[in-house]
């Protein structure tokens, strides 16, 4: 029994001696790079990125390191050197080394070298891959009006696409330009994966001819970037807009007020909404029809109207037509109507009967009454 225990002890000592017999070179050889990441995954020229290299010690003993560094040619600049000295990596442990780099190059794939200098056993060299692309996001106008009109709100739709091989973040579109009013003032899209696109819509009201500039702000990793595209705003007639034509005007004066009636027709190609008829100064709208709402008029639709007003010391008054388009833009036009030769209605004629005529009628009635009285008086005298 004692012999067996002695044999086992000797065997353990031999095994221990065998393990401890691993050379520093052998231990260092078991330190391996398990992976690396680059953030952002694809750089643009002048972008700053972080390169993180992960190392694992698969040996059974700690492996002492002198330093960990990254080297490269002039295309990728190494901005820091945080591991000039380093302790050791314990057995089975994993360590990450992070470096900051800058792309000083155009399109291409570059290979900066990650190097570990072991204290007692040479070094480990590992190339990492850094991609650089100059391609920017794309902005396209997918819908815009055929023409712009001063002060008229129009819908403009744009898409932002990402043709890069890496994701971009924080994508925001901001319209701008002299005399440009936009609702909303900006649109947030967020992240765009490679080959992904997103669409945003703006209501644009131009107050002068200018360039509508759509600026796309985005991030590539921590790098803030932007690009812009312009859309010229030139005012032209909208050939499709609603056009209200007035016809069949009749003006009648009665009871001291004017009553004008007629027809309104939409001769345009777009719907006229919230059509309202009234009169302007020097006319003064009065009840019962101060305003006459016609509601909506589709293209080629017709409706009649009637408004009432008073007017003094004038022979014409403006008939005012107001309507809105589908975007709520207000349009206003006027048509002068004559009231100088307005025919009076029968009731108006009675009120304006000349005094001479009234006196003549009174005289005739008086004569007839006199004749009747005289005849009656003679008849009584004959009976007596």
pLDDT in tens, 184-235: 999 999 999 999 999 999 999 999 999 999 999 999 999 999 999 999 998 8
Residues 160 and 78 in one domain: no
Residues 125 and 211 in one domain: no
Residues 218 and 154 in one domain: yes
Residues 269 and 301 in one domain: yes
Sheet of strand 130-132, all strands in order from the earlier edge strand to the far edge: 42-43, 130-132, 108-110
Domain annotation covers residue 343: no
In sequence order, the 6+-apart residues with CB closer than 8 A to the CB of 125 are 113, 114, 115
When divided into structural domains, the chain yields a total of: 3
Domain annotation covers residue 112: yes
Domain housing 161: 138-233
Q: What is the pLDDT of residues 109-159, one digit of tens each?
A: 999 999 999 998 899 999 999 999 999 999 999 999 888 888 888 899 999
Residues 214 and 187 in one domain: yes
Cis peptide bond prior to 287, omega within 30° of 0: no
Single residue among 233, 259, 276 that ends a domain in this structure: 233
What is the band of 358 on the pLDDT scale with cuts at 50, 70, 90? low
**Coil, strand, or helix at residue 349?**
helix
What pTM was computed for the model?
0.65
Residues 127 and 157 in one domain: no
Residues 119 and 145 in one domain: no
Domain annotation covers residue 201: yes
Which one has a higher pLDDT value, 282 or 347? 282
Residue with tokens 């759509």: 214
Which one has a higher pLDDT value, 265 or 362? 265
Domain annotation covers residue 290: yes
pLDDT higher than threshold 60 for residue 2? no
Single residue among 132, 164, 186 that ends a domain in this structure: 132
Cα separation, 30 vs 64, in Å, equals 12
Residues 28 and 122 in one domain: yes
pLDDT higher than threshold 90 for residue 94? yes
Domain annotation covers residue 258: yes
Q: Residue 95: its pLDDT value, please?
A: 96
pLDDT winner (highest mean) among 25-34, 289-298, 323-332, 371-380: 25-34
Residues 142 and 229 in one domain: yes
Cα separation, 360 vs 372, in Å, equals 18
Domain annotation covers residue 9: no
Domain annotation covers residue 345: no
Single residue among 213, 233, 253 that ends a domain in this structure: 233
Sheet of strand 180-183, all strands in order from the earlier edge strand to the far edge: 138-143, 154-161, 197-206, 180-183
Q: Residue 354: its pLDDT value, please?
A: 52
Token pair in block for residue 347: 């009731």
CATH number, domain with residue 331: 2.60.40.2230
Element (H, E) at 166: none
Average pLDDT rounded to a whole number, residues 352-374: 67
CATH number, domain with residue 82: 2.60.40.10
Token pair in block for residue 31: 């330190």
DSSP state of 72: -
Query: Among candidates 5, 103, 116, which has minimal Cα distance to 46?
Result: 103
246, 156 contact by CB (below 8 A): no
378 phi-psi bin (left φ>0, alpha ψ -120 to 50, beta other): alpha
**Coil, strand, or helix at residue 112?**
coil
What is the band of 61 on the pLDDT scale with cuts at 50, 70, 90? very high
Query: Could you give the C-alpha distances from 184 to 148, 158, 212, in angstroms and in order?
Result: 18, 13, 14
Q: What is the pLDDT of residues 146-192, one digit of tens each?
A: 888 888 888 999 999 999 999 999 999 999 999 999 999 999 999 99
Cα separation, 252 vs 307, in Å, equals 11
Residues 115 and 150 in one domain: no
CA torsion through residues 322, 327, 328, 330, sign: negative
Cα separation, 125 vs 54, in Å, equals 13
Residues 117 and 199 in one domain: no
Average pLDDT rounded to a whole number, residues 66-76: 90
What is the band of 383 on the pLDDT scale with cuts at 50, 70, 90? low
305, 292 contact by CB (below 8 A): yes
Residues 221 and 296 in one domain: no
Domain annotation covers residue 113: yes
Mean pLDDT, the chain, integer = 86
Task: Tell how far CA 83 is from the center of its chain.
Answer: 49
Element (H, E) at 19: helix 2-19
Cα separation, 244 vs 264, in Å, equals 6
């Amino acid at each position: 029994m004692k012999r067996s225990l002695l044999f086992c002890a000797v065997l353990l000592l031999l095994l221990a001696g065998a393990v401890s017999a691993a050379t520093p070179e052998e231990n260092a050889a078991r330190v391996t790079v398990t992976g690396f990441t680059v953030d952002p995954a694809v750089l643009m020229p002048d972008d700053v990125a972080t390169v993180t290299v992960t190392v694992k010690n698969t040996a059974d003993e700690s492996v002492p390191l002198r330093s960990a560094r990254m080297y490269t040619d002039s295309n990728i600049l190494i901005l820091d050197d945080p591991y000039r000295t380093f302790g050791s990596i314990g057995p089975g442990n994993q360590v990450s080394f992070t470096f900051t780099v800058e792309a000083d190059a155009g399109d291409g794939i570059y290979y900066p070298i990650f190097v570990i200098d072991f204290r007692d056993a040479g070094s480990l060299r590992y190339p990492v891959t850094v991609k650089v692309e100059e391609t920017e996001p794309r902005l396209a106008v997918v819908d815009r009006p055929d023409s712009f009109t001063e002060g008229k709100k129009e819908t403009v739709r744009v898409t932002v696409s990402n043709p890069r091989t890496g994701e971009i973040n924080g994508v925001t579109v901001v319209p701008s330009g002299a005399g440009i009013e936009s609702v909303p003032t900006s649109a947030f899209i967020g992240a765009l994966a490679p080959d992904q696109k997103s669409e945003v819509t703006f209501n644009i009201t131009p107050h002068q001819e200018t360039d509508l500039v759509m600026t796309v702000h985005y991030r590539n990793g921590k790098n803030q970037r932007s690009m812009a595209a312009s859309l010229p705003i030139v005012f032209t007639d909208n050939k499709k807009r609603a056009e209200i034509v007035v016809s069949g005007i009749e003006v009648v004066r009665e009871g001291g007020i004017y009553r004008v009636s007629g027809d309104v027709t939409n001769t345009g190609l777009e719907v006229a909404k919230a059509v309202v008829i009234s009169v302007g100064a020097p006319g003064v709208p009065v009840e019962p029809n101060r305003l006459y709402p016609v509601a909506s008029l589709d293209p080629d639709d017709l409706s009649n109207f009637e408004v009432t007003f008073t007017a003094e010391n004038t022979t014409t008054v403006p008939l005012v037509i107001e309507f809105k388009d589908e975007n709520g833009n207000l349009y206003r036009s006027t048509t002068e109507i004559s009231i100088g030769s307005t025919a009076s209605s029968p009731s108006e004629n009675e009120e304006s009967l000349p005094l001479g005529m009234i006196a003549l009628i009174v005289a005739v009635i008086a004569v007839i009454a006199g004749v009747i009285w005289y005849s009656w008086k003679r008849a009584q005298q004959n009976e007596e």
